[in-house]
Amino acid sequence: MSLFDKFKPLIDIRAELDRAGVMPFGAVTEKILSPTEAIVNGHKVILAGTNNYLGLTFEPECIEAAQKALAEQGTGTTGSRMANGTFAGHVALEQELAAFFARQHCIVFSTGYAATMGMGSTLAGPGDVIVLDADSHASIYDGVRLGGADVVRFKHNDVADLEKRLRRLGERTANTLIIVEGIYSMLGDQAPLADIAEVKNKYGGLLMVDEAHSLGMLGSHGRGVAEAARVEAAVDFTVGTFSKSLGAIGGYCVSDHPELEAIRFAIRSYIFTASPSPSIIASTRVALRLMQERPELRERLWANAQRLYDGLKGLGFQVSPQVSPVVAVTIKDRDQAIAWWSRLLHNGAYVNLVMPPASPTTDSLLRCSVSAAHSDAQIDRIISAFAQLNPSTAQEANN
């Protein structure tokens, strides 16, 4: 018996991909040409798998702010928020995020993963209960495992199943944390938050919503699915990331519960890691402001999402259950998915290849993410790259 034995399935897949001359995981971006174009694995491509939803990664104001912070404050903080890592920018960003979400309190984390994992592992512990959507992100699962609470899964987006499980908990709902996402990252489907909030209010407990893939997309202010569903008052904790719509890296949690200010000193992913670099904080603050000043970015994003969704569906591909900036094509045959990913790259479109266990089912996905920076012509070129595959084969691969 070896420590490496459990990795044999992954080793076999890697060897298979090497023999085929395909390496979709960790594809090398050799040169970034714009928010929507790059050289990837030697191919000039339209970027259709970056989560750069508002296209702000090359925004001149963001770059200028980052460069200024870099020159004035250096490359990094070299310490945690609990030590020397709290700069004025970190505090300002927390205040600005709290104001944006109309909340009283905010914690900024070094990554979105640290935010969701940290909150999930800290809010509920031994003797408590966490009820989470079965399709929750890996960072959420990692967090709840670390916390030691009793974990109960309910069927994805199934409010009736959520209610059944809360009802069974009885008085234990007083010590229960419910966790869902706003938009789910793999298929782009939205949580039925209005119904979830109603059930939460009926049975009790606290509700945490991960708006990582919905920040800047939904609601009159762009706060996400909770705002669009008009149930923000029922959400106790909102977590998310800077690495999607805000074009940087980092994470946050906002809440009206004053206890959050004490809880921050118990979150290991906050206490024991270096705080975000000043340049990251500076660019994020500008991106947050631009997101609010330019609602037309959100409108453009959804127009592009509709255009891509309709185009791929019209070709006969099995696409996501609803229109969103995440448009995924489902393929049952893994080898077919790998081959098509490679052909799309050659055809000028970079998308994400997602295979189990990363995908929410036993199927594989060719996952596209749309940007407000995509032009109509670029969306059409992505559709054309898919059209050069054989849609009839797509139907066969899913039968």
Q: Please tell me the distance from the alpha carbon of residue 340 to that of residue 45, in angstroms, as a whole number.
A: 15
Contact (CB, 8 A) for 395 and 316: yes
Q: Which amino acid is at 206?
A: L
Across 7-41, b (16+ Cβ under 10 Å) vs e yields eeeeeeeeeeeeeeebebeebeeeeeeebbbbebb
- In the set 121, 136, 139, 185, the catalytic residue is 185
Q: Please tell me the distance from the alpha carbon of residue 124 to that of residue 128, in angstroms, as a whole number.
A: 6
Residue 236 has which token pair?
């106790």
Contact (CB, 8 A) for 76 and 65: no
DSSP 172-235: GGGGEEEEEESB-TTT-PBP-HHHHHHHHHHH--EEEEE-TTTTTTSSSSS--HHHHHT-GGG-
185 is catalytic: yes
H-type helices in 234-375, by residue range? 260-263, 268-271, 278-293, 295-314, 334-346
- In the set 244, 269, 275, 342, the catalytic residue is 244
200 is catalytic: no
- DSSP for residue 276: P
Q: Please tell me the distance from the alpha carbon of residue 344 to that of residue 339, in angstroms, as a whole number.
A: 9
- In the set 213, 275, 283, 320, the catalytic residue is 213
Phi, psi of 331 (to 5 degrees): -135, 125
Q: Please tell me the distance from the alpha carbon of residue 221 to that of residue 209, in angstroms, as a whole number.
A: 17
Q: Please tell me the distance from the alpha carbon of residue 240 to that of residue 375, in angstroms, as a whole number.
A: 27
Contact (CB, 8 A) for 245 and 212: no
213 is catalytic: yes
DSSP-based helix, strand, coil % in the chain, nearest 5? 45, 20, 35
- DSSP for residue 245: T
Residues designated as active site: 185, 213, 244
